[in-house]
Amino acid sequence: MTAGWKKNAALVLVAWAASLSAFGHEFWIETSPVAPAVGAPVLMTLRVGELFSGELVGITAAHAASLHMLSIGEDQDLGPRVPAGSMLPALRLSFTHSGSHVLAYESYPSRVVLEAGKFAAYLHDEGLDAIIRQREAAGTADRPGRERFRRSAKALLRVGGESDGASLRSANQRMDITPVEDPLALAAGDTLRFVLRFDGQPRAGVLVKAWHKQGGQVTTIRTTTDSFGRFEFTLPFTGAWMLSAVHMIPVTDSADVDWDSFWGSLSFDLQARKPAGKG
């Protein structure tokens, strides 16, 4: 392993119907298909839920702060394609050239209030024990958790059977998970390296989870970012993977909420390793 990179901390297999936490709410982008031909129709949807099993979330102008498509030399604003005053169950897309493409979505802030025990359980499950300690030190651990949350999600697509450096582009999201090597050019069993940035700066000590589902089984792998915001996974299975992380800070501009949370995700499809001697 390369020095300074965090290695997989744990591999957990859980039943499809089991629940790690009643309060988790990962948020990610799904596309169908994940590896389209040039010019072929693609449906982009938003999902929210636990254990990489999510409910469909409508795409609305009221919630979509930004929606972009990135490729080599291109940054296309898809926001104008989201109609005001109505909801899209899916956004229909097509791509004009081959290579890696990145879909990047950010939401406007929303609010939630959880009673103290539920809030503490959720914080612990997301690796936010520092917030638990801050609440204890402030004497507010028995108060409800008043949270304002924002979501940042990215998806990588291999268009026309080709991948290139576009997957490495930062989307300049507040909570931004960016590959160091292109996952679309690697295979199951390879080591994949990433950097997590918050407000453009590498963030240390953040819990990152990798999610995969197949049949009735969900795989979750956990690691933590190092002092440079870097982390790595060796993902054992082909197919769809989603990485998720959350960062939380005290609110400074409102008396109605106490904490700002920033949820980030990156989803992509991992291919099988090619047999030796094959191109």
| Model pTM score | 0.90
Q: What element of type H or E holds 17?
A: none
> How many alpha carbons lie under 13 Å from residue 64 in its C-beta half-sphere?
27
Residue 144 above 60 pLDDT? yes
Tell me, what's the pLDDT at 129?
98
**In the predicted model, what is the mean pLDDT of residues 166-179?**
96
pLDDT in tens, 82-97: 999 899 999 999 999 9
pLDDT in tens, 202-249: 999 999 999 999 888 999 999 999 999 999 999 999 999 999 999 999
Go through 57-74 and write b for each residue having 16 or more CB atoms within 10 A of its CB, e for each that does not: bebbbebbbbbbbbbeee
pLDDT band at 25 (very low <50, low <70, confident <90, very high): confident
Q: How far apart are CA 192 and CA 94, in angstroms?
A: 28
Q: Which residue has the higher pLDDT, 191 or 17?
A: 191
**CB contact set of 92 (below 8 Å; sequence gap of 6+):** 41, 42, 43, 44
Q: How far apart are CA 169 and CA 109, in angstroms?
A: 24
> How many alpha carbons lie under 13 Å from residue 128 in its C-beta half-sphere?
24
10 neighbors 236 (Cβ within 8 angstroms): no
Residue 24 above 60 pLDDT? no
Among 49, 51, 47, residue whose Cα is nearest residue 19 = 51
**CB contact set of 165 (below 8 Å; sequence gap of 6+):** 72, 100, 182
